[in-house]
Chain A
Amino acid sequence: MFMEIRSQKLACLLWISVVLALPAQAATEVVVDEEIIEIAQATDIEEEALFIVKAMSEVLAAANDFDYQIETAFDVVQQSGTKIEFGASRQIQVSRPARMRMEVQQRDGTRSEVVFDGENIWAYVPEQNVYAKTEQHGDLIEAIEYAVDELGMEAPLQSLVSADFYETVLDSGLTRALWLEDSVVAGVPCDHLLLSNDYTDFQLWISQADEPVLQRVVITYRHSPGEPQFQAQFIEWNFSPERKKGQFKFAPPAGSNQVRFYVPAPATNLDQEDEQ
């Protein structure tokens, strides 16, 4: 819609410039042309939108320890085509470079806890008093990728804990970055941005503050049937959290059972193709 309006505007300006330019002097033509060129050069990547994302990213990058709380929701398109929303409350504590604790309560009431202590990944389910552990060294992003891709965990907006969120955005194959409007989210004045890659559209609401932070995110999976959305509302950011000793250590509760992480086998049909 935005691009449609812009295209119409550009076409209109081109038409006006042609009409005005006919009887006008050369100097006038130059002024009109410059205006057209300015708009024509305005691509889908707006520098200001990137500037805002970068400023927010720098706030995150400067913080070694921070906590945030989010309410997440996502659509799941059923076989009937109906979209049903699920969600969770998440409290995340980050201590770079390698430690994180995440407490999650799903909307169906089930709770879970995940701890990255720099050497292991722990997952604990209080209802069953069961925990699993697997060794994982390396930085947080590697650990989270492993947890998501292999162990089947959910870690929405995982790139927020990376050292350079801005680079992650660029690296996602960015094709569009637009500043849309001023917006107020939960009482906080924000810049409302629209970014796109070939996979998703993602809208960001970033607070208009000296230390800008994300207030809201909506991701639209526009190539998936039904175009489901993921939404996250940030309830609280804390860039000076108090850390207790052992906060990022997991101590198995009394009577708990340790089980293994289950990793489904990868599909094998392509192996047959490889052999041919």
Chain B
Amino acid sequence: MKAAGSNWILAMVVVAIAGLLVATVADARRGGGGGGMRGMGGGGMSRMGPASRGSFQRPQSQPSRPQQRPSQPQQRPSQPQQRPSQGDRAQAGTQQDRANQRDELGSRSEGDRQERQDNWQENQDDRQDFREERWDDIDDHYDDRQDWYEDRWAAGAYVSVSVWGTMGCSGTAIHANGLVYYDCNGLRYEQVMRGTQVTYIVVN
């Protein structure tokens, strides 16, 4: 009877540890989509979003293959025809010097404008071709990247440094084949770099 009670307690402890581990890895997985940033303190705040890129350009390459190519712009922006009248601008008079330098732009003939319009059209076509080629490259690159990944990691769970710190794992590094591993809760983790963040990923 006493032995049965001990076994029951032992089983409960094992289940609790396993639950904790699953929860931790699952939490890390959720954060992993953004590079393992979530859960780095601050009560699970998300620390990455579209604005963290700091770019005005639409991302060229996505983490997953886009469903379809982005639609091409419906039409090019029209070529600037005229400088707006001074009345449209606040304090435009204070820029007289620069405005004088720019008068050349405003005094071009209609023929010049047509030529510029043609050049603009040509350049825009070039840009569209470039986008098409770029998209083909992305498709190819996607396939290469999938192969490359499968050669390295079969698992997908990884944890950030701060989550790693809460897992109570030993700090003893295992060096093998030039790589750094840690054992924790029955799993082996490889220490890796994601962006400029040290991260731990489960390896087989």
B114 within 8 A of A: no
Cβ contacts under 8 Å, A125 to chain B: 193, 196-198
The answer, yes or no, to whether B1 is at the interface (CB within 8 Å) is no
B55 contacts the other chain (CB 8 A): yes
A-side binding surface: helix, strand, loop or mixed? mixed
| Residues of chain B within 8 A of A266, CB atoms compared | 63-65, 142, 145-146, 149
Q: Is A242 engaged at the interface, CB distance under 8 Å to the other chain?
A: no
Are the C-beta atoms of A270 and B50 separated by less than 8 Å? Answer: no
Q: Is the CB of A154 within 8 A of B54?
A: yes
Which of chain B's residues has its CB closest to A223's CB? B50
- Residues from chain A with a CB closer than 8 A to the CB of B32 are 264
Instruction: Categorize the interface residue count of chain A.
Output: 35 or more
Is B49 part of the binding interface, using a Cβ–Cβ cutoff of 8 Å? yes
Chain B residues with CB below 8 A from A239, complex form: none
Given A51-B105, A130-B198, are A267 and B45 neighbors across the interface (CB < 8 Å)? no
Q: Contact between B53 and A45 (Cβ–Cβ < 8 Å)?
A: no
**Chain B residue with minimal CB distance to A172?**
B57
Stretch in A34-42, A91-99, A243-251 with 4+ CB within 8 Å of B: A34-42
Query: Cβ of A42: which chain B residues have Cβ within 8 Å of it?
Result: 81-85, 88
Stretch at the interface among A18-26, A61-69, A195-203: A195-203
Chain B residues, Cβ within 8 Å of A199:
56-58
Interface residues of A in 153-167 (CB under 8 A from B): 153-159
Residues of B in contact with A (beta carbons under 8 Å apart): 32-33, 35, 40-41, 45-61, 63-65, 67, 73, 77-85, 88-91, 94-95, 98, 102, 105-106, 123, 127, 130, 142, 145-146, 148-150, 152-153, 156, 158, 161, 173, 178-180, 190-199, 201
- The residues of A with any CB-CB pair to B shorter than 8 Å are 6, 9, 38-39, 41-48, 50-51, 72, 74-79, 84, 86, 104, 108, 112-114, 123, 125, 128, 130-132, 145, 148-159, 168-176, 179-182, 191, 195, 197-200, 202, 208, 219, 221, 224, 228-230, 232, 257-271, 273
A-B contact pairs, 10 of them (CB 8 A): A125-B193, A158-B55, A170-B127, A176-B77, A180-B90, A198-B73, A228-B50, A259-B191, A260-B192, A265-B149
